[in-house]
Structure 1
Amino acid sequence: MNDGSGFFVPAWVPEGARRYLAHTEAGHSIRELARVAGCHASTVLRQIRKVELRRDDPLVDAALQNLATSHCQPRQKPSPTDMQWESDPRAESEQPVDKAMFDHEAARVLRRLCETGAVLAVAEDMDKAVVVRDSGPAGNTRTAVVAAAIAQALALNDWISCDKPGRICRYRITAAGRAALGQLLAEAENRARRAREDGLAEAQAGFTGPAGRAEMERPGQAPGRRKMRYGMAESPLAALARRKDRDGKPFLADDLVRAGERLREDFELAQIGPNVTQSWDGFLAGKSGGDRRRDPLSSGSSTARDRVTRALSDLGPGLSEVALRCCCYLEGLELAEKHLGWSARSGKIVLRIALQRLKRHYEMASEADAMIG
């Protein structure tokens, strides 16, 4: 934002859009921007023209309008040397979408859009968008709900694109979006690994003898050693739903897939990831509810976490673990069977039973909600 001392925009805004806003909203000339950036004026001109051509996209246009309204209305034109292109600490609290929130939501949404047949649908004048996946003759399955501000930021970064804008726009992930997803997941894994290493170092500091250190360093005992498997193209449920049983019918009916996707959506809304999977392992082992500590981004996720807890509690031991591994952790059936010590090809039968119980749980929960009032 511009408070007279500088020109501030959120850190997730791409470079071309920053210069476009500085030129069209703050009134800086192209030569000024090029001099500050240390590049040729023609480079800045091409970036500005590229952004201008993309304003036919409803999400891109809305993102630029919102940024211009909230961050780029100058009371006093700053000098080019005072312009700052990263988030200002004073403006961070006023930003509707900060960098950490954007990265987290972008990873969640882009993972969904990587699934086969998935699109992000946006209707006019709606404050929410939805990710839906083509389920064939059974219709479409909703897999995620996205805030409009997040959808606009994804489009502005060219991570999603719409071929034919209309009353309902359908966006698909771009090559840049797939590359960004890989980077976001790698950064999240690095943060989780650093947190685990810091926690392990603190725990080791409390052990004075070599026996204690050996206990903490034993392979398999350190938290987070299990490697998660994220499906970039489709979830294990989607792959299993394509299979046919001996009668030629889909092995998983569409309502069972929806039940599993609903559990995964609540899991993701609860801001649960590899950094806290150990707490859910404790829950499945019969401990009380797992670790309730959350980061600031997950402070409003208690309702979704409680829904996951109730669903897993209703499934009980065994069924809850295979549902958690395949629906939420996105582990393949072979990996889940290996972890659980089951025989080969038995996992899909148990998973189908778990999804049937899960479907019944959600139906009973809906009936209970309908009876209230």
Structure 2
Amino acid sequence: MQNNEAFTIPAWVPEGAQRYLAHTETGQSIRDIARSAGCHASTILRQIRRIETRRDDPLVDAALQSLAQAHFAGTPAAADSIFHVTQEETAAAKDEEFNREALRILRRLCETGAVLAVAEEMDKAVVVRDLGDGGTARTAVVDCRIAQALALKDWISCDNPGRISRYRISSSGRSALSQLIADDENKARARNEFGMSEAQTPFQSQFVQGNSVTAKSQRSRRIRYYAAESPLIALARRRDRDGKPFLDETLVAAGERLREDFELAQIGPQVAQNWDHFLTAGGRGSFGPESHGGQGASDARKRVEHALSDLGPGLSDVALRCCCYLEGLELAEKRMGWSARSGKIVLRIALQRLKRHYESQSERNRMIG
């Protein structure tokens, strides 16, 4: 019998899955697991049976196999996986990466008609949204390892697994999304109010403990917009004076195209690129791959750079904040010092300009010579 203490499973793995792996991979008895966990053996048995029945889900089964290979088999085959924690990358860094990706994907899955499509033997999954007229739009691309983790945590579920499985956000996924949004808002507020970078945000808790007034004001603040969906989707449901949608499908598609390139640009050795030079308040210095440790998806990054440069100051600000960062209009107006309810007008102008930019790119690509 192997000693379970010799293996370390990431903290994000659900408790039931941890006990299931301890039982199946190390041969530890249910009574031993119950004794170390301080609960009844029947509780452990129910958890193990529940995980076993969920292995019909292809993502859950793949997640358990990856965890077993990375943490119990003693092989380096999954050393680059999210399920494996190396000495160079701490567990906290892995949890931060997972939470960031989970927030991005769950937000997209909260949109009306959105599903996560996963094909067999594919490294990537996509989130697609039904447009209501028979068409669909791809709104996000996600690594299958992240999708496996979401399924293992029961944040997404599939009613009919097959060659192409379609997952929807579950009730527990919506609850987790609310918590992730709150955590993300706290980090953004810390960067905005205390002038500290994301890597330094853990030190902000020490400052709050020494300032009860600041802590109280932070607890009292609430999100003033529905942050579970893109601001473009919310604006597309509004009507103008003539009863027409405030943003038509072509403008929403232009914003989604910018968002898709922005997300693709984050994939690479450096997960988070620095786009602050496109914000008016942050200066407009040059941008190039030499300023970063990782190349990322260079083609997608160049497309985003060209689109934002074509928009120019002001318009690129609101496009980057609302389309890419998914900031609400009220928050964007406050940070840019604009008057109330002016953001939606500037955003529509930015999307119109963005639409013309992509159309001109298409025309240029069709030219010969």
Q: For the superposition of Structure 1 and Structure 2, which TM-score range results when normalised by the shorter chain?
A: 0.7 to 0.9
Cα deviation, 1:71-127, whole Å, max 9, x if unaligned, reads 22379xxxxxxxxxx97655968x9x9433222211111121122222111122222
- Kept in 1: contact 2:280–2:313 (CA 8 A): no
1-side partners of 2:102 and 2:325: how far apart?
18
Q: Could you list the runs of 5+ residues in structure 1 that have no partner in the other structure?
A: 76-85, 201-226
Q: Secondary structure at the match of 1:260?
A: helix
**Aligned residue for 1:37?**
37
Aligned to 2:123, which of 110, 127, 131?
127
Aligned to 2:358, which of 338, 358, 362?
362
**Aligned residue for 2:146?**
150
Matched, 1:310 2:296: no
Q: Which has the higher contact order (CA 8 A, sep 6+)?
A: 1
1-side partners of 2:183 and 2:240: how far apart?
40
1-side partners of 2:187 and 2:341: how far apart?
35
- Kept in 2: contact 1:135–1:141 (CA 8 A): yes
Q: Secondary structure at the match of 1:137?
A: coil
Cα deviation, 1:124-148, whole Å, max 9, x if unaligned, reads 2222111112221162211100111
Query: Structure 1 residues 333 and 305, CA, compared in 2 at 3 Å: closer, same or farther?
Result: same
User: Deviation of residue 370 (structure 1)?
Assistant: 6.8
Matched, 1:8 2:3: no
Query: Structure 1 residues 370 and 25, CA, compared in 2 at 3 Å: closer, same or farther?
Result: farther
Query: Structure 1 residues 353 and 262, CA, compared in 2 at 3 Å: closer, same or farther?
Result: same
1-side partners of 2:74 and 2:335: how far apart?
59
**Aligned residue for 1:281?**
279
2-side partners of 1:155 and 1:184: how far apart?
17
**Aligned residue for 2:296?**
300
TM-score (norm 2): 0.73
Query: Structure 1 residues 273 and 335, CA, compared in 2 at 3 Å: closer, same or farther?
Result: farther
Cα RMSD (Å) of the superposition? Answer: 4.1
TM-score (norm 1): 0.73
Aligned to 1:172, which of 168, 172, 184?
168
Equivalent pairs: percent with the same residue? 65
**Aligned residue for 1:258?**
253
Matched, 1:235 2:230: yes
**Aligned residue for 1:140?**
136
Q: Secondary structure at the match of 1:25?
A: helix
Cα deviation, 1:216-244, whole Å, max 9, x if unaligned, reads xxxxxxxxxxx987743432211222344
User: Deviation of residue 249 (structure 1)?
Assistant: 4.7
**More deviation in 114-123 or 140-149?**
114-123
2-side partners of 1:183 and 1:52: how far apart?
28
Q: Could you list the runs of 5+ residues in structure 2 that have no partner in the other structure?
A: 76-82, 198-221
**Corresponding residue pairs, total:** 332
Matched letter for residue 235 of structure 1: S
**Aligned residue for 2:80?**
none
Q: Secondary structure at the match of 2:279?
A: helix
Q: How does 1:178-257 map to 2 (within 5 A)?
A: 178-191=174-187, 197=194, 199=196, 231-244=226-239, 249-257=244-252
**Aligned residue for 2:157?**
161
Matched, 1:325 2:321: yes
- Kept in 1: contact 2:307–2:354 (CA 8 A): yes
Matched letter for residue 48 of structure 1: I
Cα deviation, 1:197-234, whole Å, max 9, x if unaligned, reads 4749xxxxxxxxxxxxxxxxxxxxxxxxxx98774343
**More deviation in 350-359 or 55-64?**
350-359
**Aligned residue for 2:72?**
72
Q: Secondary structure at the match of 2:8?
A: coil
2-side partners of 1:364 and 1:236: how far apart?
25
Matched letter for residue 317 of structure 1: P
Query: Structure 1 residues 369 and 60, CA, compared in 2 at 3 Å: closer, same or farther?
Result: farther
Matched letter for residue 118 of structure 2: V
